[in-house]
Amino acid sequence: MVRKPAVAGYFYPGDREELLWWLREHMEDTPSRIYRAKGVLSPHAGYLYSGKIAAKVYGKIIIPDLAIIMGPNHTGLGPRASVMAKGRWETPLGIVDIDEELAEQLLSLAPVLEEDYTAHLREHSVEVQLPFLQFMNPAIKIVPIVLYPLRFSEVMEIAKAIALALNEREEKFLIVASSDMSHYLPSHIAKEKDFKAIEEILRLDGRGLMEVVYREEISMCGYIPASIMVEASKLLGAKRAELVAYSHSGEVTGEEPVVGYAGVVVY
């Protein structure tokens, strides 16, 4: 089964050469790859708005041969924690294989995860990360996971499953949490709220991130993927996190309200 692009030509260029041009323009001027990261937080809006932030994140790191990509469920399709465990994904840059062995292992280790295809059909949060990864490493394999809100116990169930499964693998890996930050707020309020969430990520505190999102009513759509990424990265030996960039849609459009975007590397 091949999962066809859902937002190519909308969130990012649908033409291969145009997409390659965009990626070269924004990726090849990045500094030397300095981090072999455990995880990253990367935004998933249209490239016009958040692509430069994502490019800075991926431009900072060495892209391995394997990535678990977790995004929030925007479409309402599928179960609460959906793993597409078989098949391939297509983008204008070509085909990406799912690491079916790893996907099956995660399903066996974390009962909250369910094998499902429907949640991935129209969901953009995983898809928009793929061209960056393909551009940097055309041989990459992925495990795509789409998530609704979960309890912290379920976050830890998935984080522990990821850590256990990846710790047994010989190849290098990357855990990607796909998320935008505050949605449709005045820029000064969005930034204030967003940095409260970012502070918890920089502390590598997944529970703290969930608590501040609830307490401050921060409309960060991918806080569950981010919490799992942080906790799994810690279990795999991560000690630090760095904020690579922060921006919001108003810096492109000149309009308010805005959507916030943050890029973080965990290593």
- Predicted pLDDT of residue 27: 86
**Residue 172: is its pLDDT beyond 80?**
yes
Q: How far apart (Å, rounded) are the C-alpha atoms in residues 238 and 225?
A: 17
165-189: b (≥16 Cβ within 10 Å) or e: bbeeeeeebbbbbbbbbbbebebee
pTM of the entire structure?
Answer: 0.98
**Residue 124: is its pLDDT beyond 90?**
yes
Q: Which residue has the higher pLDDT, 27 or 15?
A: 15
- Predicted pLDDT of residue 32: 61
- Predicted pLDDT of residue 30: 57
- Predicted pLDDT of residue 31: 58
- 107, 115 in Cβ contact below 8 A? yes
Region 182-194: what's the mean pLDDT? Answer: 98
**Residue 230: is its pLDDT beyond 80?**
yes
What domains can be seen in the chain, in order of their start residue?
Answer: 2-266 (3.40.830.10)
- Predicted pLDDT of residue 29: 62
Region 120-141: what's the mean pLDDT? Answer: 98
Region 170-193: what's the mean pLDDT? Answer: 97
Region 229-252: what's the mean pLDDT? Answer: 98
Region 208-231: what's the mean pLDDT? Answer: 98
Helix axes of 16-27 and 52-60: crossing angle, nearest 10 degrees? 60
Q: How far apart (Å, rounded) are the C-alpha atoms in residues 67 and 177?
A: 10
Q: Which residue has the tokens 């789409």?
A: 146
Give residue-wise pLDDT tens across range 67-103.
999 999 999 999 999 999 999 999 999 999 999 999 9
- Predicted pLDDT of residue 35: 76
- Predicted pLDDT of residue 206: 98
Range scoring the smallest mean pLDDT among 19-33, 203-217, 244-258: 19-33
The number of beta carbons lying within 10 Å of the beta carbon of residue 256 is 15
